[in-house]
């Protein structure tokens, strides 16, 4: 079981370019697993964790409803935003500047073969991180992601999640609002859930801006603990 995880911070990068890169890493791992089985070998499979920030973009999961995007192509263009239908689970999600997006591309055979547990641990990573900022974040029953004030009229989502897995290899991941422009969320029904608000860490903290590098360090600290992983900062060339 290889618990080493190659960490890359891609900075600000186009969604489609990042998606293509994810797909290459994902395919390499899946292909290696298939070859191991065919050849009776046991070559270690790699794990990756990508941090990225995207220009404004809306993505719709394979089970999503297009009507949850509330604007057409012209208004998207006026907002400098793009739109993609993609192969993760979940409904519609927004990504943009001021949001920390994380894409773990893990072979869960190296950790545990349980997608439910995988999602719960990603949520726990975010919950523990937000606790360090004095926020009591929670899960909302039946709704993947991380929320504040669950069960009250003030419930609001701070982190969205959606993953794809094949042969126990994961891709896509989570999007944590840190310094996000919340106005962009008004152009959709977030994750297809009506009458629920969205928030950002800087808003909750009453600050103009939160240090994203600090947030990333906290996320990685909890990720390595929860997954018993070891991070390697020099990733192989895909």
Binding-site annotation, residues for substrate: 88-95, 160-162, 173-175
Q: How far apart are CA 169 and CA 95, in angstroms?
A: 23
Binding-site residues: 88-95, 160-162, 173-175
Q: How far apart are CA 188 and CA 194, in angstroms?
A: 10
Return the DSSP state at 156.
E
Phi and psi of 232, rounded to 5°? -125, 125
Is residue 221 within a helix (H) or strand (E), and if so which, with residue range?
helix 212-227
State the catalytic residue, choosing from 101, 189, 191, 215: 191
Q: Give the CA angle between residues 182, 200, 160 to the nearest 5°.
A: 90
Residue 191 among the catalytic residues = yes
Q: At what angle do helices 115-131 and 212-227 cross, to 10 degrees?
A: 140
Q: How far apart are CA 227 and CA 90, in angstroms?
A: 23
Q: How far apart are CA 99 and CA 101, in angstroms?
A: 6
Q: How far is CA 161 from CA 40, 44, 175, 236, in A?
A: 35, 27, 6, 26
| Residue of 29, 216, 218 lying closest to 105 (CA atoms) | 29
37 three-class SS: helix
As annotated, the active-site residues are: 191
């Amino acid at each position: 079981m290889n618990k080493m995880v190659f960490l890359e911070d891609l900075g600000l990068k186009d969604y489609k370019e990042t998606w293509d890169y994810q797909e290459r890493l994902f395919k390499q791992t899946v292909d290696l697993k298939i070859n191991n089985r065919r050849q009776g070998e046991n070559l270690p499979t790699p794990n990756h964790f990508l941090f990225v920030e995207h220009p404004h973009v809306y993505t719709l999961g394979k089970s999503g409803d297009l009507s949850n995007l509330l604007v057409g192509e012209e208004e998207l263009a006026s907002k400098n935003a793009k739109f993609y239908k993609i192969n993760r689970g979940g409904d519609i999600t927004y990504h943009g500047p001021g949001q920390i997006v994380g894409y773990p591309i893990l072979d869960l055979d190296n950790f545990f073969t349980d997608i439910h547990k995988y999602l719960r641990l990603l949520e726990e990573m975010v919950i523990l991180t937000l606790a360090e900022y004095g926020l009591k974040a929670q899960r909302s029953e039946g709704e993947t992601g991380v929320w504040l004030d669950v069960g009250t009229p003030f419930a609001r989502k701070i982190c969205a999640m959606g993953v794809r897995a094949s042969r126990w290899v994961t891709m896509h991941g989570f999007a944590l609002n840190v310094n996000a422009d919340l106005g962009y969320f008004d152009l959709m029904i977030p994750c297809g859930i009506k009458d629920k608000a969205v928030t950002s860490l800087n808003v909750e903290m009453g600050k103009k801006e939160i240090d994203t590098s600090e947030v990333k360090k906290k996320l990685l600290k909890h990720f390595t603990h929860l997954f018993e992983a070891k991070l390697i900062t020099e990733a192989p060339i895909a």
